[in-house]
Structure 1
Amino acid sequence: MDSERPPIAAAIIVEAQRVLLVRRRIAEGTLSWQFPAGALNPGETPAAAAVRETWEETGLTVKASTVIGERTHPATGRQMHYIACEFIVGTATVADPDELDAIAWCDQVELQPASRPAYSSR
């Protein structure tokens, strides 16, 4: 595990049977599309970080509901926390254009490996 860098919290947001993904302006390893996520601030819980990162990246207000799981990321060595979040209000937009270049609500078919997320907004 990478103890030099803080853990990452990822928000898993499902609304109307679609999951929210963001596309990073600069791919992280082989990932470009991923869940809204970011590093925990000192003293911050993974749930709070997932809610904050979602707001900062997408402009959506969400509420953390369940810890889905944790792992050491196999490519980065960083501790990952996956948090299910309930959609509260907002329209998904690229709220941090320095970090993101696109957002998509994807259904299960769009998430197949050979597919690319279709662009849509809430």
Structure 2
Amino acid sequence: MSAPHSVPITVVAATGPGREVDRFALEHGADPVRELARRGWAVLRVESADVVEAVMQLRYAVAAATPAPASPRSVPTDPGLVVAEGERPEPYQRTAAYGVVTSMRGVLLTELSDRTAAPGRWTLPGGGLDPGESPLAALHREVWEESGQRVDAPQLIEVTTSHWVGRAPSGRLEDFHAVRVVYAAWCPEPTDPVVHDVGGSTESVRWVARDEVQGLPLTGFATSLPRWLST
């Protein structure tokens, strides 16, 4: 899993091929679907996520809708967070790619190590984009680094975001904005998974039977996995 890398994000909305109807820069902490709803666009699907001239472009197919009412953003904090007097969180964005990777052996999941804020929890293989790297390239690289597996024909299924204030494992107080590009991918030749990125954020990796997924302690982000597997 790569170190976090901040990438400027532009959201593009279209009602058909070549029919762009809106374009805007995504602010720190904002969610593209909620921002589109506020602007009067209902999202039909996310069509692409590409890096163009060092800017991430998220393209959505949309339909006109009644604008959603604006509401103040509520930014949660980590449970038990203690902030010293005068301490201010640093804005920090992490743009990453993850895979709902399946094969004849099950679903590929990774266990987080004690170098993360959620050791022992399970999540999707993936991680932060390297400078200039596309989400699709990051997916292939991260799946290999964390499991030794190769995947075919990944399909973009969702872009999710989270925004909270908490401490990094280093102790730094962060105003954290996570942007996660999620793909579905098939592994045609599954092998016994091996963590190549030893000493990083991945403690272990394994194939999990579909009916066992919900019995694992999943990260908050990965709790959407049953829904993704059903689509």
TM-score after normalising by structure 2:
0.44
The answer to whether the aligner puts 1:84 opposite 2:172 as a matched pair is no
Poorly superposed stretches of 4+, deviation over 6 Å: none
The equivalent of 1:20 in structure 2 is: 108
Q: What secondary structure does 1:109 align onto?
A: helix
The equivalent of 1:10 in structure 2 is: 98
Q: Which ranges in structure 2 are unaligned for 5 or more consecutive residues?
A: 1-27, 30-90, 165-175, 219-231
Aligned residues of 1:68 and 1:83 also touching (Cα < 8 A)? yes
Aligned residues of 1:14 and 1:20 also touching (Cα < 8 A)? yes
In structure 2, the CA distance between the partners of 1:14 and 1:90, relative to structure 1 (3 Å rule), is closer
Q: What secondary structure does 2:214 align onto?
A: coil
The answer to whether the aligner puts 1:94 opposite 2:195 as a matched pair is yes
Aligned residues of 1:59 and 1:90 also touching (Cα < 8 A)? no
Identity over the aligned pairs, expressed in percent? 27
User: Superposition RMSD on alpha carbons, in Å?
Assistant: 2.6
Write the deviation string for residues 70-95 of structure 1: whole angstroms up to 9, x where unpaired.
Answer: 01125553111001122144621122
Inter-partner Cα distance in structure 1 for 2:97 and 2:209: 22
In structure 2, the CA distance between the partners of 1:35 and 1:43, relative to structure 1 (3 Å rule), is same
The answer to whether the aligner puts 1:105 opposite 2:207 as a matched pair is yes
Equivalent of residue 128 in structure 2, options 22, 36, 39: 39
Aligned residues of 2:109 and 2:205 also touching (Cα < 8 A)? yes
| Number of corresponding residues | 116
- CA apart distance, 1:41: 1.3
Equivalent of residue 50 in structure 1, options 132, 139, 157: 139
Inter-partner Cα distance in structure 1 for 2:128 and 2:155: 18
